[in-house]
Amino acid sequence: MRPLGPGCLAACVLLGVVLLPLPVSAVEPRGLPAKHQAQKPTPKKVAQQGKAQKPARGTAAPRKKPAKKPLESKKAPKKPGSEPRQPEPQARASIAGRPVVAPISSGASESPELDELREVEDILFWDIERVPALAPGSAKPEVLNSGLPPAVSSGAVDPPPSSAESSELRWMAQLAKPDLPFRWDVRLIRYLDYFKNNPRGRSFVQSLLKRSGRYEAKMRELLRARKLPEDLVYLALVESGMNPRIVSHAGAAGLWQFMPKAATAYGLRIDKHVDERLDPQRSTEAAMRFLQDLHARFGRWELAMAAYNMGHGGLLTSIRKYNTNDFWELSQLEAGIPFETALYVPKIVAIAFVARNKEVFGCTDLQLDPAEKLVVDATPPPPAPGKLESVASAKKPVTTVVAPATTPALPVDVAPVEVEGKGRDQSQTLLVDSPPVKYTLRWGESLEYVASTVGTTESRLRALNALTNPVPPRPGTVILVPRSGAKPAQLDQPVAVVPARTSPVAGKKRVFYEVVWGDDLSDVARTLGVTADDLCHWNNLDRSANLHGKMVLQAFVAEDRSLSDVRTIASKDARVLVVGSPEFFDHFEAKNGRVRSVVTVNDGDTMQSLAKKFGISVGMMERINHRSRDSVLKRGETLIVYGRKAIAPGVLAPKKGASDTIYDSEESNIDG
């Protein structure tokens, strides 16, 4: 090889100087309100020649690299002239929790703006505290104040809290309200404060609202035609930034960020040639059906939006575990719902506030993006199914006898019942040796419970009564059950989860009522001889949200109240757990083979390293502690983890995907 000359050596030296790494600076949040700046540690510049050091404890993390250009799918939205597919009725029924009307005709980075909002959430909500667990050994449950105002009633909304910390935010009470329900939760207050008083927040929300012009008018037309809240348009804005071709890290795509399974269920075609999630018209119509079904299931738009984000099956599991159907309560409880979901709903509501109060948030002169083509069928759809007209809403029980047909060729005491076989188009005849007996369903009794008491299974009971409709029968229905003889199934001790503020009611006895599919709060209250408001107070319930099967409600009823037509559980027969108590977490985590522990943070610990150490996901760490996975941990602070352990003898982990019927089960997430 030829030796390098002096000119080449000089050039190499100069090039090396140019390529020396530049210092990396941590960036502190700009314009953050003073109270947040006082709480958030100030950043510190870190630099070292050739290698950037990790920020010292107590300093803010360096600004992340700018997001790469969003990945946009190159698939065709739909074939020209292609006919729309029909949604899957069974899937819709599973999500809605009841039969639905006929279908309505008619690894990549995400949006840089949405990435920026997630980054700033680490700043805004780093100190949000979870509701703490009760101290062990308490003589009685202590009262935990959630900090939330009373539940919204008659459409009225309470003003923002008047504490010293939030007195400066009383301007919020004068804002025009969105048509989505909300509560003055600390998360909503901080979003509104950020969008108004922080330069970066104002810039972000203006940029996001600018994009809304692309499809907002047509989406509102479609929402209005279906009698849905028009401000649901901002759910699409938060999901995709109104980019119909965007694809998320998890594989969600389009304006409404449909996952493949949910998209298919709602009639969107996805194959190697076409992805209709990318079609604004068809994906919007599918999203309307999806949201309508979620609202039918949960009864409140906060819960419907939460289910859209986290999956309806996961939300049902949380509601049953913590025994509350109040979104705002669930969002504060330890591990109640994912951290992302706890911010998702107030984020949408806050953006709706900004859109309705543009002058307050500095958006008066904002020029929206030109409208994109979106053809929608504004013809009003068939009316959405109302509440089930059943004995639940009747003042007097309706007696209905469901009996199998008899065949003259058989003896009178032998009745044939056709039950579905394992093979296709196969059936088998079940011969009942002795005549079955009639049984009238009581309030609080499901087919599963009745079957266990007579020593059979729900499927056999359905076969005996020719119950092909998956909708469970309601109280007052007369069914046939086998004569006693078989040994009843051994039932586990019922578990009743009660709020921490529970206290006895003088002159009343406490009983527990297990909700079955189709139960309405007012009907249950009337049956027990109490008021609906009392049931809400005793059980941390949202008055207008739906009840769900397998919730266990506590009630304090009159001593002389006759409950012969109701299945209730006496206090002495139930295992009563106070939500948030050590016994509560021990019980539920043991079922999953986990144990709850409080750990102290050491130098070098991160959310990721602690999650790996204890064998749980980073998402679960976020959910338990109400903190972002990117939070900077300080030495000496405490975190809660649910570590893995061997499942104790006699304690069975729930079977994955196990369910009774689509109307009363812990369904798997079709949307997650």
Instruction: Summarize pLDDT for 287-299 with one digit per residue, the tens.
Output: 999 999 999 999 9
Q: How confident is the model over 530-580, as pLDDT tens digits?
A: 999 999 999 999 999 999 999 999 999 999 999 999 999 999 999 999 999
Strands 569-570 and 427-432: unpaired
- Specify the pLDDT at position 63: 52
* Conformational region of residue 311, where left means phi above 0, alpha means psi within -120 to 50, and beta covers everything else: left
Half-sphere exposure of 128 (CA within 13 A, CB side): 30
- Specify the pLDDT at position 55: 45
Q: Which two tokens stand for residue 621?
A: 């760490």
Q: How confident is the model over 16-51, as pLDDT tens digits?
A: 433 334 333 333 333 334 344 434 444 443 334 444
Residue type, 459: S
Tell me the pLDDT of the chain averaged across its residues. 77
Q: pTM (2 decimals)?
A: 0.76
Where in the sequence of the chain do the CATH 3.10.350.10 domains occur?
A: 594-644
Please name which of 345, 316, 232, 296 lies closest in space to residue 672, comparing C-alpha atoms. Answer: 316
C-alpha 343, offset from chain centre:
11
User: What is the 8-class DSSP label of residue 99?
Assistant: -
- Specify the pLDDT at position 403: 40
Q: How confident is the model over 163-174, as pLDDT tens digits?
A: 444 556 789 999
User: What is the 8-class DSSP label of residue 366?
Assistant: -
- Residue with the bigger pLDDT between 274 and 167: it is 274
Asked if residue 264 has pLDDT above 60, the reply is: yes
Contact of 511 with 570, CB cutoff 8 Å: yes
Taking the C-alpha atoms of residue 233 and residue 235, their distance in angstroms, rounded to an integer, is 5
Torsion angle defined by CA atoms of residues 627, 630, 636 and 638, in that order, rounded to the nearest 10 degrees: 30
CATH number of 495-579: 3.10.350
Torsion angle defined by CA atoms of residues 274, 276, 282 and 287, in that order, rounded to the nearest 10 degrees: 170
Asked if residue 394 has pLDDT above 60, the reply is: no
Please name which of 601, 625, 624, 623 lies closest in space to residue 613, comparing C-alpha atoms. Answer: 601
- Specify the pLDDT at position 74: 64
Contact of 489 with 483, CB cutoff 8 Å: no
Taking the C-alpha atoms of residue 512 and residue 496, their distance in angstroms, rounded to an integer, is 7
Taking the C-alpha atoms of residue 574 and residue 560, their distance in angstroms, rounded to an integer, is 21
Lowest mean pLDDT, pick from 113-122, 168-177, 519-528: 113-122
Q: How confident is the model over 373-382, as pLDDT tens digits?
A: 876 554 444 5
Asked if residue 494 has pLDDT above 60, the reply is: yes
User: To 10 degrees, what angle do helices 339-356 and 233-240 make?
Assistant: 120
Asked if residue 399 has pLDDT above 50, the reply is: no
At residue 640 the predicted structure's pLDDT band, cuts being 50, 70 and 90, is very high
Distances in Å between the Cα of 620 and the Cα atoms of 111, 123, 640 are: 25, 20, 10
- Residue with the bigger pLDDT between 46 and 619: it is 619
Q: What's the topology of domain 594-644?
A: Membrane-bound Lytic Murein Transglycosylase D; Chain A (3.10.350)
User: To 10 degrees, what angle do helices 280-298 and 301-310 make?
Assistant: 120
